[in-house]
Amino acid sequence: MPHLTSPSYDELRRTFTWEQARAELAGLPGERGLNIAYEAVDRHVDAGDGGRVALRCVEEDGVVSTTTYEQLRRETNRFANVLTDLGIGKGDRVMTLLGRQQEQYVAAMGTLKRGAVFSPLFSSFGPEPIRERLRLSGARVLVTTPSLHRRKVAGLLDDLPSLEHVLVVGEPTDERTASLTGLMALASEEFTIPPTDPEDPALLHFTSGTTGKPKGAVHVHEAVVAHHATARFALDLHPGDVFWCTADPGWVTGTSYGIIAPLTHGATLISYAGEFDARAWYRLLEVHRVNVWYTAPTALRMLLKYGADAAQTHDLSVLRHIASVGEALNPEVVTWGLEAYGKPIHDNWWQTETGAIMVSNYPGMEIRPGSMGRPMPGIEAAVLVRGEDGRALVEDGEARVAEPGVTGELALRPGWPSMFRGYLGEEERYRACFAGGWYLSGDLARTDEDGYVWFVGRADDVIKSAGHLIGPFEVETALMEHPAVVESGVIGKPDPVAGEVVKAFVTLRHGFEPTEDLRRELLAFGRRRLGGLAPKEIDFDQHLPHTSSGKVMRRLLKARELGLPEGDLSTLERTP
């Protein structure tokens, strides 16, 4: 249940202001500005809460190490001093290539204390995605492990002239690396955070690059205002909570809500080094008494395969709030969550560019399965009418807002604190994200009469078939209502008559076999549920391709269907 003190959604919409949210944070002592790391770490120590556990790192074998807020303050001070000694200053980019380990969190906060820009890399990337992001960022420092350096970084250094320092956790691997452990041991525990303007760059997050060259979205220290507020409103996060965000810190969710937001609330952050395993995940939730759990639809669909019984054999009684992000959450998973956990799963929506949750199923608000929820307090969202060119229709400088039930482009009024301030080195690309007084998300959606937002699909994923615009997510959701289907991916297959026909790839639940009879049954089921939107073809695929952040890669499915080159698959993960 949400905390009894939580105001209603409608009350929050009426009374909330970003100025009010900013006032809930301390700011640097002496009115020297606003710094994310101070709000996440030092503020709690100054308030007398330094003994509270900030970080609990759980190894795959169950071994646990803990770090208090006071210890985190000292370690992040050491890291900030290491950067200072290396000549790293305000605005310089520091990248990490690390797993879920203490050094990841220390490097993030220590970089922000120094006034440099923190930019994480996903540790499962192959060498080419790493090279591209290091090159685009112009990073001067990379922090990594000896193993990752040997396997993925050492061969790239000659092509990265801006990268001056490679710091490895442990012993140096060659003459071009230095020991972070050794440098930290020599560094002072005392550090004074320099004056920090709220508009100073703080974070650099790269999009996944599955639709082209990755874009580096720049965020500023003021983003912490939105991180803090949305974690309370959308995740029901409060001081002392035990919080587990399953997203890897190499992605924006794993930084914004896996590091920054829970620490600003004085929560205990769980960091699990292992990969997905249903038994291990449930054991972690039970043993560590997790109160708030933030995960992804892909993970929840995999847990669904194991059934509700797998969850109910564990004591999850203290688990108060479950939320999901990464892609739209299928209604069937929401319903299953009630059966498995005795509570709903709260979907929400945001992007790398928005920096924080923008649309959410607020705790205590009616959940309409399949909806992403309603706009967060302080956020003005709308669905815009699209013109024939696919862009938002702008007349006399203003974009036209669609009526409820009409599909258009989901857009936000600019001005929230975590809105990205640009794409690194790509000003024209940044300007193209705005039109008619709105930020254009590139996602298609519709609203209902009560303002709930319903995801339809990415604008460039929409299937055009015989004059109809078909959102893949709608078809995927319908197929998942069949008891045999646990996940699906839908594409448009070129057709000389219709332009495109809908083709689906489905993953079957345990106990179902991929037979021709089942294929025909699924096609008939689709026709009954969807009529003219139903798939004309269905293939079985037990290993749908996913991006590293968990989204089904429809583009890769389409490339395979058309016999096109798949490109570098090192950035992909497959479900077990």
Number of domains in the chain: 2
Domain membership flag for residue 275 = yes
Q: Considering 385, 413, 447, which residue would you say is the last residue of a domain?
A: 447
CA distance linking residue 380 with residue 402, whole number of Å: 14
Question: Is the predicted pLDDT of residue 341 greater than 80, yes or no?
Answer: yes
Question: Is the predicted pLDDT of residue 310 greater than 90, yes or no?
Answer: yes
Between CA 170 and CA 348, with CA 262 as vertex, the angle to 5 degrees is 120
Mean pLDDT of 518-531: 90
Query: What per-residue confidence (pLDDT) applies to 397?
Result: 78
Is 408 in the same domain as 479?
A: no
CA distance linking residue 282 with residue 306, whole number of Å: 11
Domain with 469, as residue range(s), is 462-574
Domain with residue 103: its CATH number is 3.40.50.12780
CA distance linking residue 152 with residue 128, whole number of Å: 9
Asked if residue 131 lies in contact with residue 159, where contact means CB atoms within 8 angstroms, the answer is yes
Question: Is the predicted pLDDT of residue 567 greater than 80, yes or no?
Answer: no
State the pLDDT confidence band at 467, using cuts at 50, 70 and 90.
Answer: low
CA distance linking residue 301 with residue 487, whole number of Å: 7
Q: How many CB atoms lie within 10 A of CB 10?
A: 11
Which DSSP letter does residue 365 get? S
CA distance linking residue 510 with residue 301, whole number of Å: 13
Instruction: Please state, in angstroms and as integers, the Cα–Cα distance from residue 495 to each residue in 20, 272, 437, following that order.
Output: 55, 46, 38
Instruction: Kindly give, in sequence order, each residue whose CB lies less than 8 Å from that of residue 372, ignoring residues fewer than 6 positions away.
Output: 328, 329, 347, 348, 349, 359, 360, 361, 445, 452, 453, 454, 455
CA distance linking residue 323 with residue 345, whole number of Å: 5
171-177: Cβ within 8 A, 24+ apart: 171/146, 172/146, 173/146, 173/149, 177/146, 177/149
Q: Considering 420, 447, 474, which residue would you say is the last residue of a domain?
A: 447
Domain membership flag for residue 268 = yes
Question: Is the predicted pLDDT of residue 44 greater than 50, yes or no?
Answer: yes
DSSP labels, 389-457:
TSSB-EETTEEPBPPTT--EEEEE-S--TT---EETT-HHHHHTTEETTEEEEEEEEEE-TT--EEEEE
State the pLDDT confidence band at 332, using cuts at 50, 70 and 90.
Answer: confident
CA distance linking residue 413 with residue 231, whole number of Å: 20
State the pLDDT confidence band at 98, using cuts at 50, 70 and 90.
Answer: very high
Is 383 in the same domain as 468?
A: no
Query: What per-residue confidence (pLDDT) applies to 302?
Result: 85
Instruction: Kindly give, in sequence order, each residue whose CB lies less than 8 Å from that of residue 567, ignoring residues fewer than 6 positions away.
Output: 559
Asked if residue 284 lies in contact with residue 68, where contact means CB atoms within 8 angstroms, the answer is no
pTM: 0.84
Query: What per-residue confidence (pLDDT) applies to 569?
Result: 34
Structure tokens, 304 = 């669904």
Is 356 in the same domain as 399?
A: yes
Question: Is the predicted pLDDT of residue 168 greater than 70, yes or no?
Answer: yes
Query: Which amino acid belongs to residue 493?
Result: K
Query: Which amino acid belongs to residue 364?
Result: G
Is 443 in the same domain as 482?
A: no
Query: What per-residue confidence (pLDDT) applies to 364?
Result: 85
Query: What per-residue confidence (pLDDT) applies to 566?
Result: 52
CA distance linking residue 403 with residue 380, whole number of Å: 16
Structure tokens, 372 = 């992403």
Of 272, 264, 271, nearest in space to 238 by CA: 264
Is 80 in the same domain as 203?
A: yes
Is 66 in the same domain as 184?
A: yes
Domain with residue 521: its CATH number is 3.30.300.30
pLDDT tens digit sequence for 192-242: 999 999 999 999 999 864 345 789 999 999 999 999 999 999 999 999 999
Q: Considering 447, 477, 497, which residue would you say is the last residue of a domain?
A: 447
Of 271, 267, 261, 294, nearest in space to 418 by CA: 261
Query: What per-residue confidence (pLDDT) applies to 6?
Result: 67
Taking the CA atoms of 78, 84, 89 and 93 in sequence, report the sign of the dihedral they define.
negative
Mean pLDDT of 247-272: 96
Is 466 in the same domain as 434?
A: no
- 562-575 burial, b for 16+ CB within 10 Å, e for fewer? eeeeeeeeebbbeb
Query: What per-residue confidence (pLDDT) applies to 4?
Result: 45
Structure tokens, 568 = 């570098």
Is 432 in the same domain as 483?
A: no
Query: What per-residue confidence (pLDDT) applies to 394?
Result: 83
Note the Cα 276 to chain centre separation in Å: 17
Domain membership flag for residue 453 = no
Query: What per-residue confidence (pLDDT) applies to 211?
Result: 41
Is 481 in the same domain as 356?
A: no
Structure tokens, 457 = 């699909």
Structure tokens, 142 = 């990379």
Is 19 in the same domain as 51?
A: yes
Domain membership flag for residue 452 = no
Asked if residue 292 lies in contact with residue 320, where contact means CB atoms within 8 angstroms, the answer is yes
Question: Is the predicted pLDDT of residue 85 greater than 50, yes or no?
Answer: yes
Domain membership flag for residue 305 = yes
CA distance linking residue 94 with residue 111, whole number of Å: 7
Is 164 in the same domain as 34?
A: yes
Domain membership flag for residue 3 = no
Query: What per-residue confidence (pLDDT) applies to 570?
Result: 34
Query: Which amino acid belongs to residue 454?
Result: W
Query: Which amino acid belongs to residue 381?
Result: A
CA distance linking residue 299 with residue 248, whole number of Å: 13
CA distance linking residue 226 with residue 356, whole number of Å: 6
Domain membership flag for residue 457 = no
Domain membership flag for residue 533 = yes
Mean pLDDT of 344-353: 94
Is 507 in the same domain as 534?
A: yes
Asked if residue 377 lies in contact with residue 415, where contact means CB atoms within 8 angstroms, the answer is no
